[in-house]
């Protein structure tokens, strides 16, 4: 496997950003040391044509100013924390409000906007970042590491977080997938399978209420693969609130492959397995507001990409019914998600 390093740009702070490209005979994956952003995943379609299957930009300024977490490590806590408030060890904490009245994806300058140290590995790269005590309002210093491991047609994301005191950690990767290649069409004709029977109700601020509903008989039933666009326009309160899917699906955890995204016209597919409790499906409902032109040459628009964010349930610290994502020096954070990329008619390792 080849690992190449390229200059990508300079932040407004003067910090230099580099792109690292992992390449083997099956895939080419590019990652920035800024936010651990996956800028490209290049794979063949059924006719052997190599194209990019993720959304992103070709310059650092757009990532700084416009990116809706394209391809990034999100945290310290992915998703929303209600009103930016939580209590830990009988102490109240107040976080930045950066999404309506809530805290989203770690705050104003979360892990997605930090420069990470990079170490080259035999089969990938390891990104490291030390988040100081009270960065973005979160207690404790945390030593984070994220490994991107490329083996044949699989990409493994391995996360660790070692805090020096009790704190919240719930990371994910926020890549927007579009298997049509180079943004040729929306994701509404992509088929999605999710091994999940239950989904939390969201309130009007997209915060889980703690109450769950059964997916059977609702637009949220993906236990049999179906087009993302099949039911997205249904008159359903949960869909109407978020203009589409933006919900955590609680994985049943009894199958090896828990999520499958595929696109018949290109022959491309992704199989996902994870040790996390849930996958948040975001169907790009608000894309097109101000993201501008993407690296594929297309203007961003609604439903141009879909995120499959493996993580623990959002806002779990504030919901008694959910298991909280609390870690300390004796109980460090570890997480794993594996993406397997497949093309119909081609041998898969």
Kind of pairing between the strands at 50-52 and 268-274? unpaired
pLDDT at 122 over 90: yes
Active site residue 247: no
Q: Write the CA distances from 89 to 29, 38, 78, 80, integer angstroms.
A: 41, 36, 21, 21
Give SS3 for 145. Answer: strand
Q: Does the annotation count 303 as an active-site position?
A: no
pTM of the model: 0.97
Three-state DSSP class for 61?
helix
**Which position among 51, 135, 174, 291 bears the catalytic label?**
174
Q: Report residue 344's pLDDT band, with 50, 70 and 90 as the boundaries.
A: confident
Res 346: pLDDT: 54
pLDDT exceeds cutoff 80 at 182: yes
Residue 348 has pLDDT above 60, yes or no: no
Domain ranges for the chain:
2-343
2-343 placed in CATH 3.20.140.10? no
Residue 23 in contact with residue 49, Cβ under 8 Å?
no
pLDDT band for 347, please (50, 70, 90 cuts). very low
pLDDT for the residue 142: 98
The mean pLDDT value of the chain amounts to: 97
**Catalytic pick among 28, 277, 309, 312:** 309
């Amino acid at each position: 496997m080849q690992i190449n390093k390229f200059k990508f740009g300079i932040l407004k702070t003067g910090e230099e950003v580099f792109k690292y490209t992992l390449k083997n005979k099956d895939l080419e994956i590019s990652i920035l040391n800024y936010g651990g952003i996956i800028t490209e995943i290049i794979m063949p379609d059924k006719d052997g044509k190599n194209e990019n299957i993720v959304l992103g930009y070709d310059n650092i300024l757009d990532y700084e100013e416009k990116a809706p977490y394209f391809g990034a490590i999100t945290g310290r806590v992915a998703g929303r924390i209600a009103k930016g408030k939580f209590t830990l060890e009988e102490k109240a904490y107040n976080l930045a409000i950066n999404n309506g009245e809530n805290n989203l994806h770690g705050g104003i300058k979360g892990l997605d906007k930090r420069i990470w140290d990079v170490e080259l590995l035999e089969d990938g790269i390891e990104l490291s970042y030390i988040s100081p005590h009270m960065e973005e309002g979160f207690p404790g210093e945390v030593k984070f590491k994220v490994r991107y491991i490329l083996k044949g047609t699989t990409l493994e994301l391995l996360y660790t977080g070692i805090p020096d005191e009790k704190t919240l950690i719930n990371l994910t990767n926020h890549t927007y997938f579009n298997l049509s290649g180079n943004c040729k069409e929306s994701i509404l004709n992509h088929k999605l399978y999710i091994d999940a029977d239950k989904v939390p109700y969201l309130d009007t601020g997209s915060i889980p209420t703690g109450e769950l509903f059964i997916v059977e008989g609702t637009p949220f039933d993906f236990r049999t693969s179906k087009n993302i666009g099949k039911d997205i326009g249904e008159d359903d309160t949960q869909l109407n609130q978020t203009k589409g899917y933006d919900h955590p699906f609680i994985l049943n955890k009894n199958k090896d492959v828990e999520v499958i995204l595929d696109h018949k016209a290109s022959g491309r597919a992704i199989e996902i397995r994870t040790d996390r409790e849930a996958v948040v499906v975001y169907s790009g409902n608000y894309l097109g507001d101000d993201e501008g032109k993407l690296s594929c040459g297309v203007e961003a628009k609604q439903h141009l990409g879909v995120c499959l964010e493996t993580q623990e349930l959002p806002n779990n610290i504030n919901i008694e019914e959910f298991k909280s994502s609390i870690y300390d020096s004796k109980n460090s954070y570890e997480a794993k998600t594996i993406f397997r990329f497949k093309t119909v008619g081609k041998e898969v390792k």
